[in-house]
């Protein structure tokens, strides 16, 4: 890792995805002189064999905290995509002294005591409730739900998706208002039937939150990696 990076990014993927989803963004940010890591959360990606029935949101928050501490990272630009917004909110509440900036990338921005399912549309909530009632992991949603139909992306993503530990969607997060010295940004993907409009609408007029819009589907790091890299670099 660069001993004198411009910024230090920790990229957190969403449900069903691992650190592999950042394959195009990581080298792009590194080429700009930044340090970048993308830890995969317990039970997902290459860590799919580590998940248990007890894996929950706290497990994933602890994954990221342990990663930051073991790598000795300071002044972190913490990026949470999709479900990853739940995770980075919890991380920032616990170790605000390690975080320099917080970027929500088409992501959930939960209030204190809220779980992901509290923000789910009724039709999606009904689907995940079925798995919760059976105490079963939640299979990935079809990619077209997220506005992704490009064959190259679908072929790359589909075999790498894993089931999501059900408790991660149901555990409430501990959220705190970040200290004023932590900058906050929200990036909204507008090119599909969006799931995160309410968060963008909430933050676009907030003087503390910088916002950006990418006209693409939810998987912006794969569909428009150059634009995603550009915006992440601007908002760090």
DSSP H or E segment with residue 183: strand 183-189
pLDDT of residue 123: 87
218 neighbors 146 (Cβ within 8 angstroms): yes
Rounded to the nearest 10 degrees, the angle between the axes of helix 57-70 and helix 84-94 is 60
> Residue 190 to residues 146, 184, 201, 219: CA-CA distances in angstroms?
11, 20, 12, 11
User: What does the DSSP assignment read for 120-143?
Assistant: S-HHHHHHHHHHHHTT-PBPPPPG
Q: Which residues are bridge partners to 219 per DSSP?
A: none
3 state SS of 221:
helix
Q: What is the CA radius of gyration of the chain?
A: 16
pLDDT tops 50 at residue 1: no
- Asked whether residue 156 is domain-assigned, the answer is yes
| Six-digit token string for 97 | 């002294």
**For 155-178, what is the mean pLDDT?**
97
Catalytic sites, residue numbers = 82
- Asked whether residue 80 is domain-assigned, the answer is yes
pLDDT of residue 5: 78
Kindly report the pTM of this predicted structure.
0.96
- Asked whether residue 71 is domain-assigned, the answer is yes
Question: Which range of residues forms the domain containing residue 48?
Answer: 8-235
CATH number at residue 69: 3.40.50.1820
Domain count, the chain: 1
- Asked whether residue 3 is domain-assigned, the answer is no
**pLDDT tens digit string along 123-137?**
889 999 999 999 999
**For 68-72, what is the mean pLDDT?**
98
């Amino acid at each position: 890792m660069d001993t004198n990076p411009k910024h230090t990014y920790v990229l957190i993927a969403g449900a069903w995805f691992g650190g592999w989803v950042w394959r195009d963004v990581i080298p792009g940010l590194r080429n700009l002189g930044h340090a970048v890591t993308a830890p995969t959360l317990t039970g997902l990606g290459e860590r799919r064999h580590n998940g248990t029935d007890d894996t929950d949101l706290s497990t994933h928050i602890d994954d990221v905290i342990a990663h930051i501490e073991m790598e000795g990272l300071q002044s972190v630009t913490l990026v949470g995509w999709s479900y990853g917004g739940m995770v980075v909110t919890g991380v920032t509440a616990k170790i605000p002294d390690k975080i320099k900036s917080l970027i929500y990338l088409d992501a959930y921005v939960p209030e204190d005591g809220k779980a992901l399912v509290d923000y789910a549309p009724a039709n999606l909530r009904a689907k995940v409730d079925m798995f919760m009632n059976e105490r079963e992991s939640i299979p990935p949603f079809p990619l077209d739900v997220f506005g992704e139909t490009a064959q190259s992306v679908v072929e790359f993503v589909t075999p790498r998706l894993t089931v999501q530990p059900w408790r991660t969607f149901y555990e409430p997060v501990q959220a705190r208002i970040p200290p004023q010295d932590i900058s906050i940004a929200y990036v909204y993907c507008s090119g599909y039937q969006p799931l995160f409009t309410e968060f963008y609408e909430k933050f676009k007029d907030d003087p503390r939150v910088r916002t950006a819009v990418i006209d693409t589907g939810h998987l912006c790091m794969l569909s428009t990696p150059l634009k995603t890299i550009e915006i992440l670099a601007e908002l760090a």
